[in-house]
Structure 1
Amino acid sequence: MSPVSGAGRAKFEAEDMIGRAGAGPHATSKGSASRFLAVALGLLGVLVFLGLGIWQLERRVWKLDLIARVDQRIHAPVVDAPGPATWADIDAAGYEYRHVRLAGQFQGANTLVQAVTELGGGYWVLTPMRDGRGFTVLVNRGFVPQERKAEFERESGGFTAPAEVDGLLRISEPGGGFLRSNDPAADRWYSRDVAAIAKARGLADVAPYFIDAGASGPDSWPRGGLTVVKFRNAHLVYALTWFALAIALARPIFANRRQREAPR
């Protein structure tokens, strides 16, 4: 190997000094800032995942309470549908899914509300019923498929014979559904909005709830008894998934910190 000349050695030492200078405090500062940003984003992700896990646990408590409440109410003895004296107190927690009875006459036109059930897509048929106690309740008589829509749109709903309905009390669904708003002027309904339907049909003394009629015959339309009373409860699985993601994200963050703090 040939010896390095003095000029060459000087050039090499100068380039080495420049390189060390470039990797000095400024480069160290940039690296520290990048690491800090990565750690901050990682910790933010951990907090988000933990928050989602806690939210799912809270949802699980709510779902278990709903399941127990609905199961108790649908199997309780039937009672008369609440009259005007109790309407101000009616809410989902205290009244929804109660097993109630209504006796009177159906009066007025049907309102068809878009629905998706175990039988497929179609409509709920809501008909006003005048109770013998002097007030009106919208009764969801059941489901009809798309091909029977015209038949029940033409049905007057003006039945003369006395009728009795056993079913489940349900709370009004204001606004709409299926990511679409109700359009009373066009008679398009996506939710069972009691107040809006009553106003569109010119009904008075209407209860702030509706009743899902009980099961009807397998060949009859509308098909009653399709109220969903079994609720899927997978919130614990979702919570454990979010917590696992939080742990997986946190592990490399704290492992890198221990490595940096280890004595050298």
Structure 2
Amino acid sequence: MGWLVLWTVLLAAALGGFAALGSWQVHRMHWKHALIDRVDGFLRAPPVPAPGPDAWPGLRADQDEYRRVELRGVLLDREILVQANTRLGAGFWVMTPLRREDGSLVFVNRGFVDAAHRDPGRRGAAAPAGRVRIEGLLRLSQPGGGFLRNNAPAEGRWYSRDVSAMARSMGLPAVAPYFVDQSTDGEGAAAGVATAEPLRWPVPGLTVVHFRDEHLSYALTWYALAAMTAAAMVYGARLEWRRRRAAGNPS
């Protein structure tokens, strides 16, 4: 009798767990669909001025990431290369600080360079001088590093765009807690070059905006396991009832 009670309790616990996991995936699915709709709206909307220092504390990934923004200011003659993989292959993002008219600093991802063009002298054109206007996508800082790889500023090895760490390595004062993935050139003209040999480096406009949306399949899997567990409970109960009935003790 004890084993039957234990078996029933274990199956009931598994049933509740599977059902809860399925419901959690449904919740995640609705959240992900809302996120995708919000980002699609950002991408279709005209650019807005990038947030200034007063707005920095209130920035949130689920409300501001991938918003189209514009920046005006002067690009500093300094850069950090962060490892990247794009449709043009492996290489680096070129991260350059921009000083706005109010004195605040924002890192700009000016685009992608391959290993052959990591040296600014081999890119064919210098960074725009003087006051520039840049359009792009707002991205929040990426602290820590990449997958299983930590940033090593002292060695010049960067795997994520951690704006605070980059600012410290350059000796810069406080910078915006976000960076801008540039999608146009310094004059605001479209610049998403995707040829085998781009006309100029770095190549902006290579940001991939994609969100995995497999929550429905996960939910169905968990619900299927819950249904199988419920069926096992019913089957076990029927077997026990038949055994007792055959033994003359149906209660």
TM-score by length of 2: 0.81
| Aligned pair partner of 2:116 in 148, 156, 159 | 148
Q: CA separation in 1, counterparts of 2:93 and 2:121?
A: 11
- Confirm or deny that 1:134 pairs with 2:103: yes
Q: What stretches of structure 2 of length at least 5 have no aligned partner?
A: 185-190, 247-251
- Confirm or deny that 1:258 pairs with 2:230: no
Counterpart position of 1:249: 229
Q: CA separation in 1, counterparts of 2:54 and 2:201?
A: 34
CA contact (8 A) 2:117 2:201 kept: no
Q: Going by fraction, where is helix more abundant, 1 or 2? A: 1
CA contact (8 A) 2:94 2:111 kept: yes
Equivalent residues, number? 231
Larger radius of gyration: 1
Counterpart position of 2:211: 231
| Aligned pair partner of 2:37 in 50, 68, 72 | 68
| Aligned pair partner of 1:122 in 59, 71, 91 | 91
Q: Give the match's secondary structure for 1:73.
A: helix
CA contact (8 A) 1:112 1:153 kept: no
Q: Give the match's secondary structure for 2:45.
A: coil
CA distances 1:41-77 after superposition (whole Å, capped 9, x unpaired): 4444333332321221121111111111111112112
Q: CA separation in 1, counterparts of 2:55 and 2:9?
A: 54
Q: What does residue range 39-118 of structure 1 map to in structure 2 within 5 Å?
A: 39-118=8-87
Give the partner amino acid of 1:248. M
Q: Give the match's secondary structure for 1:137.
A: strand
Give the partner amino acid of 2:108. V
Counterpart position of 1:179: 148
Give the partner amino acid of 1:177. G
Q: CA separation in 2, counterparts of 1:186 and 1:44?
A: 52
Counterpart position of 1:25: none
CA distances 1:194-251 after superposition (whole Å, capped 9, x unpaired): 1111111111241111001005233132222222223232211211112112212331
Single out whichever of 209-218 and 189-198 deviates more from structure 2.
Answer: 209-218
Give the partner amino acid of 1:176. G
Q: 1:102 to 1:252 in 2, by over 3 A?
A: same
CA RMSD of aligned residues (A): 2.5
Q: 1:53 to 1:153 in 2, by over 3 A?
A: farther
CA contact (8 A) 2:92 2:118 kept: no
Give the partner amino acid of 1:249. T
- Confirm or deny that 1:213 pairs with 2:211: no
Q: Give the match's secondary structure for 1:192.
A: coil
Q: Give the match's secondary structure for 1:102.
A: strand
Q: CA separation in 2, counterparts of 1:251 and 1:227?
A: 48
Q: What stretches of structure 1 of length at least 5 have no aligned partner?
A: 1-28
Identity of aligned residues (%): 45
TM-score by length of 1: 0.77
Q: 1:50 to 1:140 in 2, by over 3 A?
A: same
Q: CA separation in 2, counterparts of 1:231 and 1:83?
A: 28
Q: 1:114 to 1:259 in 2, by over 3 A?
A: same
Q: 1:122 to 1:50 in 2, by over 3 A?
A: farther
Counterpart position of 1:199: 168
Q: What does residue range 20-31 of structure 1 map to in structure 2 within 5 Å?
A: none
Q: Give the match's secondary structure for 1:190.
A: coil
Q: 1:42 to 1:133 in 2, by over 3 A?
A: same
Counterpart position of 2:220: 240
Q: Give the match's secondary structure for 2:119.
A: helix
